[in-house]
Amino acid sequence: METLTQLTTGLRWQDVVDILLNSYILFRLYVLFRGTNVIRMIMAIAMLWILERTAVYMGLIVTSWAIQGIIAAAALIIIIVFRNEIASVLQTRNFKSFFWGIPQRQIQTPVDIIVEGVYELARRKLGALIVLPLKKGIETVIQSGIPWKGKLSREMLLSIFWHGTPVHDGAAIIQGDQIVEVAAILPLSKRTDLPSYFGTRHRAAIGLAEQSDALVIVVSEERGRVTVFKDDNAINIDNNIELRHVLQEHAGEATAASGLKRQALELGIAAMICLAGITGIWFSFARGLEALVTLEVPVEFMNRDPNLEIFSASASSVSLQLSGSGSLIKSIRSDQVKIKLDLANAVAGLNQIPIARESIALPPGIQLKQVDPQMLEVNLDRPVQKTLPIQPDWTGKLADNLILEDARLVPDTVKVVGGSQMLKDIHTIYTEKIPLDNITTGGTVSVSLVLQPSSLKLEDGLKNRIDVIYKVRRRPAPSS
């Protein structure tokens, strides 16, 4: 319970959307590919992934590498081996079914109409091939014929298989109470043990029965006989009662397979598995074994009064200790973390700005552990200009027999820019130290100015160097 609370604390609404959205995408993929071999391969890959995670958790390095390799190869195999199946699924679905369509409930096949139609075809010796698919799709096995959206009726069956009709060759496919396709080409069986009177029509029926769970009815043109093919069985039908019985059995399976309750249960379980899977993946990334990192992040100031300038801050960057799952922490960069301090309430002078949690923007899944320092001192002031005299900062001592007679500075004043408060107390700018010890004659020395405090600046374009022209003379010898 405690672990659950730990896991869910700090869960943002974006995280919930993240989990739900990806679960829905996974669920839609399931709905799109269910009943095909692709979904079985994807499930196998999912199992491998769980194994791989377990191996990583247990520290089985080579095993986890090996499984990773198998997963990569399996993903490639799916695309290559099942490319036709994938293409066929994508082609046969419309836009709606990709995103929100719920699979339609199978409408019950009207068995009596088929029985009547088939026996009428047999009586008239009209060859016919009728397919009643069950749960597995047959799109990938047959060569699709001509789409035919027509309500199933005895007359419709007779007219489709009438010799004069252009679509009488091939098979008619019935789904629910609709004939959905005619002139479909079925795969021929390669069996060698078939009776000699089984020509290509029968072979095609056997071929489809072998490769799917569909039931196929054949009306022989030559013999006027009805045969039903299902799985590996060929059932010779002697009368319409027998045919009704076989069809009802198949229709019962179809209803059970596509019954609303069963379908709702299957989709409900699939939805729960998708949600659980994505939640597991999300938590393993976002809340996996916790790791720590310390980042030095530069501070950005915002909402400053435009009449004030920042003349100094106690630090320009802040050290943040962050925690999160190992994989997230490993990939984090300092430019993904931002610290924005609000100076809207700051006034001229020294301001203490606390570094609040809200002013730190972190990537999703990363938590803040520690901030150092927790407060910044920011000195704001109105910038002003001031012209100040320059003083040479002599150091050391001239030789005893020499006197510094004159020193001229070029220029002898300088324009500086700084905060108004600070400049109030500054009356002179000093040069860097000029040693007297080595001076023996007059001359010129080029020196730089010392700008103290560091927020003090020279006016734009001014050079931080001046010339000091000095003269020395010999001290008159003491009169004896």
Interface residue with ligand ATP, options 24, 49, 148, 198 (CB under 6 A): 198
Binders of ligand ATP among residues 203 to 262 (CB under 6 A) are 204, 220-223
As measured in angstroms, the least distance from the Cβ of 207 to ligand ATP is 7
Instruction: Provide the mask over 99-138, with x wherever binding to ligand ATP is found by CB under 6 A and - wherever it is not.
Output: ----------------------------x-x---------
Q: 210 exposed, middle or buried (CB, 10 Å; 0-12, 13-18, 19+)?
A: middle
Return the number of the residue (32 or 206) whose C-beta is nearest ligand ATP: 206
Q: Is 199 in the site for ligand ATP (CB under 6 A)?
A: yes
How many helices (H) and strands (E) are present in the chain, helices listed first? 13, 22
**How far is Cα 71 from Cα 250, in angstroms, rounded to an integer?**
38
Binders of ligand ATP among residues 157 to 176 (CB under 6 A) are 169-171
Stretch that binds ligand ATP, among 13-21, 185-193, 260-268, 331-339 (CB under 6 A): 185-193
Using the 8-state DSSP alphabet, how is residue 185 labeled? B
- The Cα-based distances of 312 to 152, 192, 307 in angstroms read 87, 94, 16
Stretch that binds ligand ATP, among 147-155, 199-207, 247-255, 303-311 (CB under 6 A): 199-207
As measured in angstroms, the least distance from the Cβ of 86 to ligand ATP is 24
Rounded (to 5) percent helix, strand, coil in the chain: 40, 30, 30
- Among 341, 408, 413, 403, smallest CA distance to 378 is for 341
Return the number of the residue (218 or 328) whose C-beta is nearest ligand ATP: 218
As measured in angstroms, the least distance from the Cβ of 149 to ligand ATP is 20
Q: Are 208 and 131 in contact (CB under 8 A)?
A: yes
Interface residue with ligand ATP, options 74, 188, 271, 404 (CB under 6 A): 188
As measured in angstroms, the least distance from the Cβ of 87 to ligand ATP is 21
13-33 and 83-92 helices cross at what angle (nearest 10)?
A: 100
Q: Is 194 in the site for ligand ATP (CB under 6 A)?
A: no
Question: CB atoms < 10 A from the CB of 1, how many?
Answer: 5
> Which helix or strand (DSSP H or E) is residue 387 part of?
strand 383-395
Task: Kindly give, in sequence order, each residue whose CB lies less than 8 Å from that of residue 73, ignoring residues fewer than 6 positions away.
Answer: none
Binders of ligand ATP among residues 14 to 53 (CB under 6 A) are none
CB under 8 Å, gap of 24 or more: what pairs does 246-249 form? Answer: 246/215, 247/109, 247/111, 247/114, 247/115, 247/132, 247/215, 248/111
Interface residue with ligand ATP, options 21, 79, 102, 185 (CB under 6 A): 185
Stretch that binds ligand ATP, among 14-22, 181-189, 258-266, 292-300 (CB under 6 A): 181-189
Q: Where does this chain bind ligand ATP (CB under 6 A)? A: 127, 129, 169-171, 185-186, 188, 198-202, 204, 220-223
